[in-house]
Amino acid sequence: MFEDLRDLYQEVILDHGRKPRHGRKLEIFDATAKGDNPMCGDRVTVFVRSNQGKVTEIGFEARGCAISIASADLMAEAAFGHTPDEITEMAKSFAAMAHTGHSDDPALETLRPLAGVHEYPSRVKCATLPWAALQAALADNGNQGVATSE
């Protein structure tokens, strides 16, 4: 019945949405920020640990749909080892991919399963929320800002 939805709900998304590997608060972290989409009610808090200017671990606490949780979890893996500047570029590329459905940025390889959201305008913000929160966390070195993707 839902075969055409497999573009959006690919197995990797269902899997990370169901069992996120990084879905927990870090015991020690250098930066954190919340992402909040008040219109739909999705919320995510991102915790970042860095070493020598590079992200070494990301954890998150989220309530939201499969897309937003899978996106947060895949983001935690993709951002590993990158500098804040690189992450800003990745976030831009990711947002572009979420809106257009394609990207030739090799850094987004593991995030490509999320490209399917572009066909669902009301769901693009689900995928981009964790990235907005991560950027807020990195922007002000450990601030407590609240970001949104609505």
Partner 1 sequence: MNAMTKPAFDIARIRADFPILSEKIRGKDFVFLDSGASAQKPLVVMEAMLHAMQHQYANVHRGLHWMSERTTEAYEAVRDDLARLLNAADRHEIVITHSSTEAFNLVAHSFGRGVLKPGQAVVVSEMEHHANLVPWQMLKDAHGIELRIAPITDAGELDMAGLEALLQDRKVGLVSITHMSNVLGTYTPAERIVQLAHAYGAKVMLDGSQAVVHRRIDVQALDVDFYAITGHKLYGPTGIGALYAKRELLEQMPPFMGGGDMIGSVTYQHSTWAAVPHKFEAGTPAILEGIGLAAAIKYVEAIGYPAIASHEQALTEHALARLSTIEGITIIGRAQDRGGVISFTLDRAHAHDVATLLDRQGIAVRAGHHCAEPLMHRLGLDSTARASFGLYTTMGEIDALADTLIRVREFFQ
Task: Between 10 and 83, name the residue whose CB sits nearer to partner 1.
Answer: 10
CA 80/CA 94 separation, integer angstroms: 15
Whole-number minimum distance, CB 115 to partner 1, in Å? 16
Between helices 66-78 and 124-139, what is the axis angle to 10°?
40
Instruction: Tell how far CA 61 is from the center of its chain.
Output: 12
Contact 137, 49 (CB under 8 A): no
Whole-number minimum distance, CB 2 to partner 1, in Å? 5
| Alpha-helix residue ranges (DSSP H) falling in 8-116 | 11-18, 66-78, 84-100
Positions that interact with partner 1 (CB under 8 A):
1-2, 4-5, 8-9, 14, 18, 39-43, 63-67, 120, 123, 126
CA 149/CA 40 separation, integer angstroms: 11
Whole-number minimum distance, CB 18 to partner 1, in Å? 8
Task: Between 39 and 80, name the residue whose CB sits nearer to partner 1.
Answer: 39
Contact 74, 110 (CB under 8 A): yes
Task: Between 84 and 113, name the residue whose CB sits nearer to partner 1.
Answer: 113
Whole-number minimum distance, CB 1 to partner 1, in Å? 5
Whole-number minimum distance, CB 122 to partner 1, in Å? 8
Task: Between 67 and 136, name the residue whose CB sits nearer to partner 1.
Answer: 67
Task: Between 70 and 78, name the residue whose CB sits nearer to partner 1.
Answer: 70
